[in-house]
Structure 1
Amino acid sequence: METELPRMLRAREEAEPGEAFVFHSARARMQHVDPEQLRAMNDQAGRAAAELADARPDVVATACLVAIMAQGPGYHCTAEDDITRVLRAEGCAAPVVSSAGALLSGLAALGAAKIAIITPYLKPLTKAVADYIEDAGVEVVDALSLEVPDNLAVARLDPHDLREHYRKLDLSGVDALVLSACVQMPSLPSIQPVEDETGIPVLSAATATTFRILTELGLPPRVPGAGRLLAGTDQTRRPA
């Protein structure tokens, strides 16, 4: 959230003269990607939201994706509603976006019914993510778990390695490839190259979150070199 999202917004500023974005963040602590720490991370959302409310942001986005999806189908709606209540109590009218909900919105915008995903998670958490996506009506045809439980180690993964990792997936008949189903795992340098190689839309939790942020701000969802979802073309449609 603190690396790839600002990079995409900076790239948009360069492409759209006159626009400027200010980025604020509040952290929810989590060191190891396991169910206990993921639940504890969710419990910190209210505190973090109250801190951000003081800045009077125009939109608030929350991660991580697996912390929400591990709680069971549809939990992103609960998480977004909880954060909204805190913001309203603090006098902040900003809409709320979650990376979990944004990924589903991004897939819907692409019209994707069948997908493949790459995650940094251990296999049980990857299954939870796949189950969550499938509950929303999108079939996960194949999934690759990189099985990195340490959260800092996830952030240090080389995004260029994804250009080889994706080759391990069965992409037969898929409508889109989620190159990183985790905002913490960097992927931006590989999004456009893998899309160009495969000929199918390639997105990530980060590009989907940026897509949703821009649409909530009433801006065309365009970021150069960030895949079809952020191409600002008629191939995507605004999320419901």
Structure 2
Amino acid sequence: GLGASDIDDPLRLLMGVRPDIILYGCTSATLAHGPDFDRKLAARVKSVSGTETVTAAGALVSALEVLGAQRVGLASPYVPAINDTAVAFLAEAGIETVQRSEAAVPLSNEEQGAMTPDEVLASGTRADHDDADAIVLSCTDMRSVESVARLEEALGKPAICSNQAMMHEALRRLGIDDPVEGFGMLLERPRS
């Protein structure tokens, strides 16, 4: 994926369409380098583009703050070493991970995207814990947006996924407060 050092040229190409907001859609790319890198990347994108910028990892933290979730279960298609960085990222934001569900072997981007909504639901269920305030489904490739509402219904608690969190943050920054039904508690609530 693109990092802070090699993002300028692609951003300049993108600016021809004059977007209102830019979503940096790779959760693990910024999770792996920590919150400071995540903030610097978002600032760099905004500096080069002049456009509001949301990262997936930053949006997950914002979503958890909106929901008041301080303890989470984490489900992802990442291997344990990458999940370790996700746990550390969340911890730096004051969020404790109380349970994890992860891939036993590395999955390619295509394999992450090929996970069915039922497989994502099962992974999210494995990440549940009595002490978890919410479940985090981390990975923009994973088809988790299709599983969020079902997971919430099954567990009786909020579930946040990377794409849903980015959409919530984008709508909030753009001043769009209308609820979005069918994609979990986060999008169904007012954003103001």
**TM-score, normalization by structure 2:** 0.92
Structure 2 equivalent of residue 10 of structure 1: none
- Size of the aligned set, in residue pairs, is 190
1:207-218 aligned at under 5 Å gives the runs: 207-218=164-175
Instruction: Report what 1:60 is aligned to.
Output: 22
**Structure 2 gap segments, 5+ residues each:** none
Alpha carbons of 1:165 and 1:223: their partners in 2 closer, same or farther (altered >3 Å)?
same
- Residue in 1 that maps onto 2:110: 152
Compare 65-74 and 198-207 and name the one that shifted more: 65-74
CA–CA separation in structure 2 for the residues paired with 1:167 and 1:193:
10
Q: Is the 8 A contact 2:128 2:135 kept in 1?
A: no
- The CA deviation string for residues 203-226 of structure 1, in whole angstroms up to 9 with x for no partner, is 100110000010111001622111
Amino acid in structure 2 at the alignment position of 1:158: T
Assess, with a 3 A threshold, how the Cα gap between structure 1 residues 60 and 73 changes in structure 2: closer, same or farther. Answer: closer
Runs of 4+ in structure 1 over 4 Å off: none
What amino acid maps onto 1:125 in structure 2? I
Q: Secondary structure at the match of 2:17?
A: coil
Separation (CA, whole Å) in 1 of partners of 2:99 and 2:116 = 22
Q: Provide the residue aligned with 2:54 in structure 1.
A: 97
Of residues 134, 138, 160, the one that matches 2:95 is: 138
Question: In structure 2, which of residues 39, 45, 65 is the aligned counterpart of residue 83 of structure 1?
Answer: 45
1:17-56 matches, cutoff 5 A: 30=1, 41-42=2-3, 43-56=5-18
Summarize the Cα distance change of 1:162–1:129 in structure 2 as closer, same or farther, 3 Å threshold: same
Aligned partners of 1:52, 1:111: CA distance in 2, in Å? 35
* Higher mean C-alpha displacement, 201-210 vs 72-81: 72-81
1:191-212 deviation digits (Å, cap 9, x = unpaired) = 1011011110011001100000
Return 5+ residue gaps in structure 1 as ranges. 1-29, 31-40, 89-93
Partners of 2:178 and 2:56 lie apart in 1 by 16
> Given that residues 74 and 132 in structure 1 are in contact (C-alpha distance below 8 angstroms), is that contact kept between their aligned partners in structure 2?
no
Report how far residue 133 of structure 1 moved: 0.6
Decide which of 25, 36, 47 is 1:74's aligned counterpart: 36
Map residues 117-128 of structure 1 onto 2, 5 A cutoff.
117-128=74-85
Distance 1:184 1:44, change over 3 A: farther
User: What CA deviation, in whole Å up to 9, does each residue of 1:84-111 have, x standing for no partner?
Assistant: 11113xxxxx211111111110000000
> Percent same amino acid among aligned pairs?
26
Residues 221/98 of structure 1: CA separation in 2 closer, same or farther (3 Å cut): farther
Q: CA deviation at 1:164?
A: 2.1
Matched, 1:195 2:134: no
- Aligned partner of 2:133 in structure 1 is 175
- On the 8 A contact 1:115/1:141 being kept in 2, the answer is yes
* 1:66-125: CA deviation from partner (whole Å, max 9, x where unpaired): 11111133221100111111113xxxxx21111111111000000000001111111100
Matched, 1:116 2:73: yes
Mapped partners of 2:89, 2:157: distance in 1: 22
Instruction: Say which SS state the counterpart of residue 52 (structure 1) adopts.
Output: helix
Which letter maps to 1:177? Answer: I
Say if 2:133 and 2:158, in contact at 8 Å, map to a contact too: yes
- Counterpart-to-counterpart distance in 2, 1:167 and 1:106: 19
State the match for 1:6 in structure 2: none
Letter paired with 1:218 = G
183-192 or 161-170, which moves further after superposition?
161-170
1:205 and 2:162 correspond: yes
Shift of 1:170: 4.2
